[in-house]
Amino acid sequence: MEISIVIPVYNEEQALPKLYNSLKKVLESLQKKYEIILVDDGSTDRTWEVLSVLRAKDDSLKIIRFTRNFGQTAAIAAGFYHAQGEVIIAMDADLQNDPVDIPYFLSKIEEGYDLVSGWRKNRKDSLKRKFPSWIANWLIGKITGVKIHDYGCSLKAYRSWVAKNLHLYGEMHRFIPALAAWSGAKITEIPVRHHPRQFGKTKYGLSRTFKVILDLITVKFLLSYATKPLHFFGLPGLCSLVTGLAICLYLSFLKIFFHAQLAQRPLLLLGVLLLFIGVQFISLGLLAEMNMRIYHETQKKPIYVIREIR
């Protein structure tokens, strides 16, 4: 299989026939062996019935149905797992992404890139949706160090090894370029077409901005400290321990040589508190290191990603 198209679907019964027709037209023109994987993320309308009809007349379709709505990240992860193509392209089902852009992604992959991300340069959404997205893109780029214009664009192309080594959960799909960069993937970005929504209503709102911030904290920790948690907990712990020790030594000096009364001094309480905090943070880091080692040994989870073996 040369190309796998992965499309999460949630309540898109009206959009699916049009998406299927435009997608088939583009893929047939490429003259490559392909498959289309549509993941029904617990739709409550006639989405599954529409997918079943399409599958009955086209063997290139693979349809997957979730038991309930698990979210876009889970749908993408399931699609990646079942994809067999050397290149995997993910896109939305709401017709805002345009299949006509697929050849441009493939040409970038052929240039040697491992992940090609779409940039909705002329985005056809309301300011209420675009403004939080601008802030999120800037913030994610600043914190992760992977600076692209549009983390939220679902239209992306991946070499198979990149997609297969992404361990997605929660709502991590929007951070895929940052996660792929950690794996050593070569990333680029290209402008893509973006159309106004034709059917239904958006599944995103302002409330997701707060989830992005929380997920960003998780991603930053995973990218920087997942295999070395002691570095995360140890630095503030060590600073607290040293400061508390310095305060206690200073107060001990006053008590021994100047017979100072320390019982009523808040500085004594601060010093003792900092000592306890320092010990707790360092202990927490050591426990995390032990847990990480046990996890890697029992699960045989590698701490590296292999591009290919010849």
DSSP of 214-245: HHHHHHHHHHHHTT-HHHHHHHHHHHHHHHHH
Query: What is the pTM (predicted TM-score) of this model?
Result: 0.78
Question: Among 233, 224, 81, 92, which residue's Cα sits nearest to residue 146?
Answer: 224
Tokens 């939220």, residue? 152
pLDDT, residue 212, reads 73
Half-sphere exposure of 92 (CA within 13 A, CB side): 23
List phi, psi (to 5°) of 116.
-120, 120
Q: What are the residues facing 7 on neighbouring strands?
A: 38
Residue by residue, pLDDT tens for the chain (310 residues) are 899 999 999 999 999 999 999 999 999 999 999 999 999 999 999 999 999 999 999 999 999 999 999 889 889 999 999 999 999 999 999 999 999 999 999 999 999 999 999 999 988 887 777 888 888 888 888 888 898 999 989 999 999 999 999 888 777 888 999 989 988 999 999 999 998 887 766 655 555 667 777 778 778 877 777 777 888 888 899 999 999 999 999 999 998 988 888 877 899 899 999 999 999 999 998 888 888 767 656 666 655 555 555 4
Cα 136 to its chain centre, rounded Å, is: 13
Q: What residues are paired with 62 via a beta bridge?
A: 37
Distance CA 310, CA 308 (A): 7
pLDDT confidence of residue 226: 72
What are the backbone dihedrals phi and psi of residue 249, each rounded to the nearest 5 degrees, phi first?
Answer: -65, -40
φ and ψ at residue 123, rounded to 5 degrees: -70, 130
The DSSP annotation for 121-155 comes to TT--S-HHHHHHHHHHHHHHHHHHS---S-TT---
Q: What is the pLDDT of residue 222?
A: 74
At 2 the three-state DSSP class reads: coil
Q: Which tokens is 155 given? A: 């239209």
What's the confidence (pLDDT) of residue 297? Answer: 61
